[in-house]
Amino acid sequence: MSTLLGLEGVSKNYGPNTVLKDVSFQIGKGEVVGLLGDNGAGKSTLVKIMSGVVSMSSGRYVWDGEEVNRVSRPETERRGVETIFQDSALVPTMSITRNIFAGREITNRFGFLKLRAMDAITTEILDSVVAIEGIRSAKQLVSSLSGGQAQAVAIARAVHFKRSLLILDEPTSALAVRATEALLNYLVQLKSEGVSSVLVTHNLHHAYKVCDRHIVMNHGRKILDTTREDTSVEELTAAVVEGAEGVKRFRQGKPLA
């Protein structure tokens, strides 16, 4: 499998706080990668760096074999990267359709909006990929949606615009079982379209079911990077809960402390 995105030696400081230390990993084309770790491990920070909304303090961002020098959101957008951020990143005072197409509206050549076309696409994605209950219309304001419904809108936007890499930061945290199932199945289906995805989740069972590879973060460092064949839910649990020590103990065959 050829590499789509490689991060090499990435570190990130916020003032005196180092939140990422020398992190390197690769995401293959059409691969589903699980990004796991305890609260505050640095997962969302990595997600933001991969999406180009936060800059790294040091390290290299290598896309399809070529280093990208100034990673920015317009730059990653051009490469087809779409992200579902942990905080949804929606505009509460705008309608669902206008949120999904904000900044990337379907317009005629004078820039005037084609609202009907956008409403139709919105309805279509909300019905197919995210099987969410209770949204009445694409014209509803996002502020009138429930947490899960808003999350579904963020998912729908990312799904519509992704071309090469879909990054999902705890996308199912507010979703009910059926919607979660639909989304996880969708990630599996994406592989056949050659689209890679990165799934951040605290549900290791979900991660284990759909991800080809797992990366576990602990206090800003990568402590485990393994294919599904070489690991188990138990090992992932040990790594997330106990860090590097847990992995070591697990590999030596000792039970979880």
Ligand X SMILES: Nc1ncnc2c1ncn2[C@@H]1O[C@H](COP(=O)(O)OP(=O)(O)OP(=O)(O)O)[C@@H](O)[C@H]1O
The residues of the shown chain that bind another protein, judged by CB under 8 A, are 30, 51, 53, 73-74, 77, 83, 85, 88-95, 98, 101-105, 107, 111-113, 115, 123-124, 126-127, 131, 133, 135-141, 143-144, 177-178, 180-181, 184-185, 188, 191-192, 209-210
Measured distance CA(26)–CA(60) in Å, rounded: 12
Tokens 């509206």 identify what position?
105
Interaction between residue 86 and Mg ion (CB under 5 A) = yes
Which residues are near ligand X by CB under 6 A?
14, 17, 19, 37, 39-45, 86
- In 31-105 the beta strands, taken as DSSP E runs, fall at 32-37, 58-63, 66-68, 81-84
Span of 29-37, 86-94, 221-229, 232-240 interacting with Mg ion by CB under 5 A: 86-94
Strand partners, 62: 6, 67
Q: Give the residue with the Cβ less far from another protein, 16 or 111.
A: 111
Question: Strand 32-37 relative to strand 213-218: parallel, antiparallel, unpaired?
Answer: parallel
Nearest approach, Cβ of 45 to ligand X (angstroms)?
Answer: 3
How many residues make up the chain in this entry?
257
Q: Give the residue with the Cβ less far from ligand X, 45 or 151.
A: 45
Nearest approach, Cβ of 120 to another protein (angstroms)?
Answer: 9
User: Residue 250: how many CA atoms within 13 Å on its side-chain side?
Assistant: 20
Q: Give the residue with the Cβ less far from Mg ion, 45 or 95.
A: 45
Give the residue among 206, 210, 91 at the shortest CA–CA distance from 157: 91
